[in-house]
Structure formats: structure tokens, C-alpha cells
Structure 1
Amino acid sequence: MPKRPAIQRHEWFAVGIAFAYFFCVLAAYYVIRPVRDQLSAAVGSTALPIFYAATLVVTLALVPLFGALVARYRRRTFVPVVYLFFLLGMLAFIPLFQMQEAIGARLLGSIFFVWVSVFNLFVVAVFWSFMADLLDAEQAHRLFPVIALGGTLGAVAGPALTRALNEVIGVSGLLVMSSTLLGLAIVCILALSRWSQGHPVVGDEQRETRVIGGSFIAGAIETVKSPLMRRLAILMLLGDAVGTVIYALLADYSGATYATRAERINFSANVDFYANLLQIVLQLGVTRALLVRYGPAPALALDGVLKAIMLAGLAVFAGPWIAAVAVVTRASAYGVFKPAADSLYTRVDAETRYKTKNFIDTSVWRFGDLVVTSGFNLLRGLGTTVPGLALLSMIAAGSSAWIGWRAARMLPDSPRTAAGSGREAVDGSV
């Protein structure tokens, strides 16, 4: 049988638009992320549980609204509406930042921290749900790493723009830039919806026009009931435990090392910049090859192993090594783990793909943030040092590697079978 091309002729348009879509989404986020992160560095990790508790409350309030949209409207309607909501919210912060003296820098910064955190969760979760709905499992293994590269380039461009323009256009200008990128993302969504009408997934030709229906809390119920979804939720919590500890240590290091807001913004932008460059290397050189040849299980395991290795170094070196740890673990989380984990959702039904995935990627994630940062403060209060925190995080990373491997192996058909038999075989396995 002749070797299938990496991207087939009819897929080029969709890959190009999805590439641009994810570029816009992550560039929109990373343009304003350093503004959020400098607040974390300014107040220290002890304040993070408060921020994450507020983020969790807002997330839990929005999840039912998102579930209601999914249950009532077609995909081509509710996906653009989600992005339009966050676009308008971003613009609403412009006059608030112009009234910063009246509102108070700490209060406004706290509100903005929560908003950006919620924004990131929803726009990225919806992106991958949308991609999993457009493509089947065999296509996901071939195309997700390529599409994810668009997001990586956006994540490189975002902090680069912030570094270059921060002192020129200020926070208000950065908000306008982020909103413009979200507007372009909506255009891409509409184009992809139109493409999918002519290229439906074999065996499920009504995906574009169907109304999913069901309860708005179905995602939470399915997370508890389904063995696969429970494992994916645990996998999310373990990855969050590692990432949040590293984020807290990085915030403390930045706050202790850099005295001004501009310096802290630039430091955060630099960490993001180099993490995203490394992410490109992993996506092109590692992730796609693993997914196409072996499926998601080895990639999920590799992510946990890479994180454990870097945390072992943190236990030995501490101090400035935290920046290197943050670069490598973030690159692995989004360059290896994310495309592999999200490819699993191509093999589940639509309600799981949107509602359950969204619940895990938002509510479960932010619940993990709150628990981990609270536990982090408790351990620090009991005298646990950086090496001790690193060793505990290593256990979480190792557990993530094992559970990720097992979760991927729960799927009914192997990647070689899927790749060889085409879309029909994969669709029949759902």
C-alpha cells in the first residue's frame, strides 16, 4: 500500500486555516499573559490560592452557560459566540485600565488575573474540541502536531510583540491587539465550518448541522461515570500539580530578582518566548512521529518523563534553574502532552467532545490550581524547601507518565490499524 502523504490534498485548506486560527488564539493570550504574570510575581505565590479560588468560581459560573450553548445551538453558532464573548470582555478592560488610579492597581490587577486565566482555559479548550469535531483519529495523529505548531508560533509572536511594544502602546494597546487577534480567529472558525460541510467525517456526516442537546451538566456527570474520562481528569490534575508548583516557584523567583513591573513583564515574556521555541522543536521532531507511528500513549508517557528529569535538576540546583525547568516543562506540556491528549477526543461522541472535555479543561484544571497552590503554601509554611517540593512534583510527573500510557491504551484500536484502514475504521471504533 502506498504511503499516505503527511497532508492530503483536500486537507491543505483546513490545516492552513486551523494553523492560522490557533496562531491567533495563542498570540491573543500571550500578548497579555505577561501583564497577568507580573502581578503574580509582585504579590508572591502566597496570594495565588486567592486568585485561583476566584478563577474557579468564575469558571464554574461559565461552564453551565457554555453547556447550555452547546445543548441548544449548532457548532457553527456556539463556537464563534464563545470567542465573541471573550473579545468583548477584553475590550471592556481598556477603560478600566485607564481608570486604574481610581479603581486601585491591586484590585484591577486581581480582576484581570482572573479574567485572563478564564479566557485562556475556554478559548483553548474550545479550539481543541472544535478540531476534534472536524477530524477523525487518523487525521488527528497526522495533523494535530502541525496545527499545534500554529499555536506555538502564536505563542512565540505574542511575548515578542509584548516585549517590543509594552513601553510604546501600554496595556490598553495590548488589549486592542489581543481583541483583534480574537476577531481574526472568529473568521477562521467560519471558514473551517464551511470547509467541513464539504468534507464531513465518514460515518458522521451531520456533525456540522446537528444540535448536540443533553444536559448542561452532562460533562461533569460523564467525567465521574466514564473510566477513560476519570483517567483524563486525573491526568489533568497531575499535570496541573507539576505546572502550578513550577509557576509558583517561578513567580517567587521573579518577584525576588526583579524590582519593577517592566522587568517582571520582560522576564515572563522571555520565559514564554524560549519555552515556545523549544515547543516547536518537540512538535516537529518528536510528537508527530510518535503519534503517527505509535499513537498517543508514548507521547503522554514521554511528557511525564521529561518533567521528572527537569524536576530532579531543580532538586539539586534550585535558584535560577527554575527558569530552565519552566521552559522545558511548558514546552513539553503544550508540544507533547496537549496534541496527544486532545487526539483521544476524536474517538468519543460529540457531547463528550465538547461538554466533558470543556469541564475537564476548565473546572477540573482550576480546581487543581486551587488545591495545589493551597497545598504549596501549607508545605512552605511547614518548612518544605525547594528540593522537597521538586521531589513531590517528580512523583506527580512519574504518575502522569504511567496514567497517560494506560489511558491511551484503553482505546479500542491501535494507531497502526487506524492509519491503515482509513476514517471508516476509526469512526467504527467509537
Structure 2
Amino acid sequence: MSFLTRLLNLRPREAPPVLAGLALFFLLFTGYFMLRPVRETMGVAGGVDNLQWLFTGTFVSTLLVLPLFGWLASRVARRRILPYAYGFFIANLLLFAALFLGQPENPWLARTFYIWLSVFNLVAISLAWSVLADVFSTAQAKRLFGMMAGGASLGGLVGPSAGILLVAPLQHSGLLALAALLLAGSIGAAIWLYRWRDRNPLAQHERPAEEERHVSLGGNPFDGAVEVARTPFLMGIALFVVLLASVSTFLYFEQAELVAERFPDPVQQTQVFGLIDMVVQALAIFTQVFLTGRIAQRLGIGVLLVAVPLVIAVGFVWLALAPTFAIFVVIMVARRFGEYALVRPGREMLYTVVSPQQKFKAKNFIDTVVYRGGDAISGWLKRALDLLAELPGLAMFIGAGIALTWAGTGFALGRAQQRREAENVMAEAKAEKGALT
């Protein structure tokens, strides 16, 4: 066991919470990735030329959801935000399952589900990371977040496989009901993590913050947006997310066009999307479990945030010069593998040096409204560039420029996080000295 803990870079009594974090993400992502190919198929069914409308609808829906989440976060204890939110999502999934059972070919139901899953995706994943940022210290996050993100990749591997195998016998309605059951399991894992932290508190001067987990954050539903607007560090994270969303959207539109052209059958489309998901997650697991934490510890969070954007910038140029399906798949896999294994854990580590209000409210605002806003704007931009038929590679060259800006923003955030962490360590040292005297 000691060899295994050294191999995984664990400290005493950290194995159980790491397993709980793995379970939280595994169950959440298994359900989501089981449904993701269904969403992509429904997006293609509505017409590739209409994708920008679905992105805009998703952004508008996210704006409507923001005050609801803000109200919940302001009224209930931090440790109960995830169970309440996930419980609401479970009810939604069961309702969609019943509707698809009765109207499987309804195009408006398909579009509604596409938008709903796109909103659910960001809110649910953001909230899971908020719980981890609330439970673990910054030092623990650097070592453990990548490993726990491995649960997301494992779920991303199992989910598409389950979708491919079960979509024929269960149909879409059965997959939704199964996803609801998995989401209920995620609630149990989050509750266990908070109870573990209760039994294993942090240092004495940090305990008041731990006790605050039993009370609500207070404030109003729009505090998240206000926190972002007045905090340069959070503004930097917001810019990073907009650039990430823009790169993802450019590649997503290319994916929809190329898949619709090569695979006209909806069942084949679902299987292709699922296969891409499986390859991405398989590549990500090893990196998350064995490398991400060590990279963050030894080279800093900035390396996690910069490496992938630089690779994607090269990929965009390559795709502009040789726009084939095989090359696109290589770039798409590299982008998503890098995001899951490096960018996402690094981005979430940034939130360990901010206040609880910012970990939940501001983080949710950035991960939902800001992200989907970037989606909507870049979706229309990509559509406009595609209409310039005489310049087919223009969108890819612009994407390369966005990716380079994304890399520069990641570098600046890594430096800012280091400064904040050093300030927090100094403050903790002063607090300990004061307690001793």
C-alpha cells in the first residue's frame, strides 16, 4: 500500500477522499457522456446550418438559469447546494425520458433536450469542481485534482461505450433514466466528501471557514457576476474561458459539418461521436492519474494552462492547409484530451485561492454564462466565416490566433495564482504565530 500511495503521490488518509472524488466524477461523467452522443445526433438532425441558433438558445437559457442557481446558493448551506441542484436535474431527466418515450421523433423536443443538456453539462460539472475546491486545500488540489479528474475520464470512457451498446435496446428514453440514477450516486459521493472533511479538519486557523460550510453564502442571485466584474483575477479566468470556448466552438462546427457529410445515418453519427469520446478519455486517464499532479507541483499551474493552447494553434494552421476528416480527428482528440488532462484541472486549481463566495457564485457565472456567451458569439462568427466560400481556411487561421491569445492568458493566470498562493501562505503563517502567542 505504501508503494501505491507513493506512486499516486498521496498523503496519509487521502486515499478515501480521492476515491470519493473519483466516484463523484465517474458517475457524473458516465451519465453525461452516455447522453452526449444523443445530443450531438439531435443537433445534426436539426440541421448543421442551424447550430448557431442552438448555441444562442443555450446562452439565453443559461442566462435564465443563473439567477435560479444564485438564489439557491444564497439560501442553502454550501454543502447542500450540489444535492439540491442535482436533485432538480434528476427530475428533469426523468421528465425528458417520459416525453421521448411518447414522442421520439419530435424535432422541438430534440432541440429542447440539446439546449438542456448543454446547460446541465456546465452547471453540474462546475458545481462538482466547486465542492472539491471547497473541501481540499491548495496544496492538496495540486496533487489530487488531476487524479480525481481521472474519474471524469473513466466515466467519459464508460459512458460512450454504454451509449453505443444500450441505445438500440433502451432507446433514448432508457438512457436518460439510467443517467438520472448515476447522477443520484454523485450526490452520495459529494455528501461523503463533506463528512470526511468534518472528521479531518484543516489547520486550526482554517476551521472557521470550514464551519461556514454549514450556513448559506447569503447575498443575492447576481453576486457571482459582481464578483467577477470587480476582481481582476476572476476577470482573467473569464477571459481564459471565453477563449477556450471560442476554440472549442470552431472545432465543434467543423466536427458537425464533416461528420454530417461522411456519415448521413443518425445511428452511425451517434456511434462516431461515441468512438471519439472513448479515444479521448482513454488517452486522458493515464496523464490525469500519474502526471497532472506532478506537473502542477514541480512546474506550476501555468504549464497546465499554456501547453494545450500552443498545440491547438499549430493544429488550426495544419487544418487550414489540409482540411481532411482524419487530420481533424487528430486535432479534436488532442484538444479534448489536453483539456481534460491538463487545462481543466489547472483551471480548477485557480479557485482554491479565492473566497467561498467566489468558489461557488463567481465560478458558476464564469463556467456557465461566460462560457456559453463565448460559445454563442464564436458560433455566429464561425458561421459568418464559413459563408466566405472563397476563403475556406480563414476560420482556421483566426482560430490559431485565438489559441495563441488563450495561451498568453493562461501564462498570466499561472503567475497570478502563484502570487495569491504566496500571500495566503504568509497570512496563514501570521495567523498561526498569533494563535501561539
Shift of 1:399: 0.8
Shift of 1:39: 2.1
User: Does residue 1:218 correspond to 2:223, yes or no?
Assistant: yes
Shift of 1:240: 0.6
Higher mean alpha-carbon deviation, 242-251 vs 278-287, is at 278-287
Are the aligned partners of 2:46 and 2:111 in contact in 1 as well (CA < 8 Å)?
no
2:404 paired residue number:
398
1:362 paired residue number:
368
CA distance in 1, matches of 2:194, 2:152: 19
Superimposed CA distance per residue, residues 307-334 of structure 1 (whole angstroms, 9 cap, x where no aligned partner): 1122222122212121221111011112
- Could you list the structure 1 runs, at least 4 aligned residues long, displaced by more than 6 angstroms after superposition: none
Secondary structure of the equivalent of 1:410?
helix
CA distance in 2, matches of 1:426, 1:336: 33
Superimposed CA distance per residue, residues 46-77 of structure 1 (whole angstroms, 9 cap, x where no aligned partner): 21121112111221111111111111111222
The correspondence for 1:380, drawn from 386, 389, 396, is 386
**Percent identity for Structure 1 against Structure 2:** 29
Are the aligned partners of 2:243 and 2:405 in contact in 1 as well (CA < 8 Å)?
yes
User: Does residue 1:253 correspond to 2:254, yes or no?
Assistant: no
2:153 paired residue number:
152
CA distance in 2, matches of 1:426, 1:254: 58
Shift of 1:130: 0.7
Are the aligned partners of 2:46 and 2:107 in contact in 1 as well (CA < 8 Å)?
no
2:63 paired residue number:
60
User: Does residue 1:348 correspond to 2:368, yes or no?
Assistant: no
Superimposed CA distance per residue, residues 231-257 of structure 1 (whole angstroms, 9 cap, x where no aligned partner): 111100101111011011100111111
CA distance in 1, matches of 2:115, 2:297: 37
- What pairs up with 1:300-319 in 2 under 5 angstroms? 300-319=305-324
Are the aligned partners of 1:152 and 1:279 in contact in 2 as well (CA < 8 Å)?
yes
Shift of 1:198: 1.5
1:330 paired residue number:
336
Shift of 1:418: 9.9
Are the aligned partners of 1:222 and 1:356 in contact in 2 as well (CA < 8 Å)?
yes
User: Does residue 1:299 correspond to 2:300, yes or no?
Assistant: no
User: Does residue 1:269 correspond to 2:270, yes or no?
Assistant: no
Query: For residue 302 of structure 1, what is the amino acid of its counterpart?
Result: A
CA distance in 1, matches of 2:278, 2:393: 26
CA distance in 2, matches of 1:426, 1:305: 40
The correspondence for 1:82, drawn from 80, 85, 88, is 85
User: Does residue 1:164 correspond to 2:165, yes or no?
Assistant: yes
Superimposed CA distance per residue, residues 103-149 of structure 1 (whole angstroms, 9 cap, x where no aligned partner): x5311110110111011011100001110000111000000001000
CA distance in 1, matches of 2:427, 2:148: 19
> 1:13–1:207: structure 2 CA closer, same or farther, 3 Å change rule?
farther
Query: For residue 402 of structure 1, what is the amino acid of its counterpart?
Result: G
CA distance in 1, matches of 2:291, 2:285: 10
CA distance in 2, matches of 1:172, 1:427: 55
2:193 paired residue number:
192
Are the aligned partners of 1:347 and 1:427 in contact in 2 as well (CA < 8 Å)?
no
> 1:111–1:143: structure 2 CA closer, same or farther, 3 Å change rule?
same
The correspondence for 1:239, drawn from 240, 244, 252, is 244
Shift of 1:338: 0.4
Shift of 1:383: 2.6
Higher mean alpha-carbon deviation, 49-58 vs 80-89, is at 49-58
Higher mean alpha-carbon deviation, 114-123 vs 36-45, is at 36-45
- What pairs up with 1:46-125 in 2 under 5 angstroms? 46-100=49-103, 104-125=105-126
Higher mean alpha-carbon deviation, 315-324 vs 355-364, is at 315-324
What is the TM-score of this pair, normalised by structure 1? 0.93
Shift of 1:170: 1.0
- Structure 1 gaps of 5+ residues are none
Shift of 1:369: 0.9
Secondary structure of the equivalent of 1:206?
helix
CA distance in 2, matches of 1:259, 1:160: 21
CA distance in 2, matches of 1:165, 1:273: 15
2:435 paired residue number:
none
Shift of 1:38: 1.1
Secondary structure of the equivalent of 1:411?
helix
1:11 paired residue number:
14
> 1:249–1:425: structure 2 CA closer, same or farther, 3 Å change rule?
farther
Are the aligned partners of 1:160 and 1:269 in contact in 2 as well (CA < 8 Å)?
yes
Higher mean alpha-carbon deviation, 214-223 vs 109-118, is at 214-223
1:280 paired residue number:
285
What is the TM-score of this pair, normalised by structure 2? 0.91
CA distance in 2, matches of 1:372, 1:310: 18
- What pairs up with 1:34-45 in 2 under 5 angstroms? 34-45=37-48
CA distance in 1, matches of 2:277, 2:431: 37
Are the aligned partners of 1:275 and 1:327 in contact in 2 as well (CA < 8 Å)?
yes
CA distance in 2, matches of 1:338, 1:362: 14
> 1:24–1:422: structure 2 CA closer, same or farther, 3 Å change rule?
farther
Query: For residue 226 of structure 2, what is the amino acid of its counterpart?
Result: I
> 1:200–1:422: structure 2 CA closer, same or farther, 3 Å change rule?
farther
Q: How many residues align?
A: 421
Higher mean alpha-carbon deviation, 281-290 vs 26-35, is at 281-290
CA distance in 2, matches of 1:355, 1:361: 10
Shift of 1:99: 2.1
Secondary structure of the equivalent of 2:213?
coil
Query: For residue 112 of structure 2, what is the amino acid of its counterpart?
Result: I
Query: For residue 390 of structure 1, what is the amino acid of its counterpart?
Result: M
Higher mean alpha-carbon deviation, 403-412 vs 112-121, is at 403-412
Are the aligned partners of 1:45 and 1:249 in contact in 2 as well (CA < 8 Å)?
no
Are the aligned partners of 2:29 and 2:159 in contact in 1 as well (CA < 8 Å)?
yes
- Structure 2 gaps of 5+ residues are 433-437
Shift of 1:347: 0.5
Secondary structure of the equivalent of 2:218?
coil
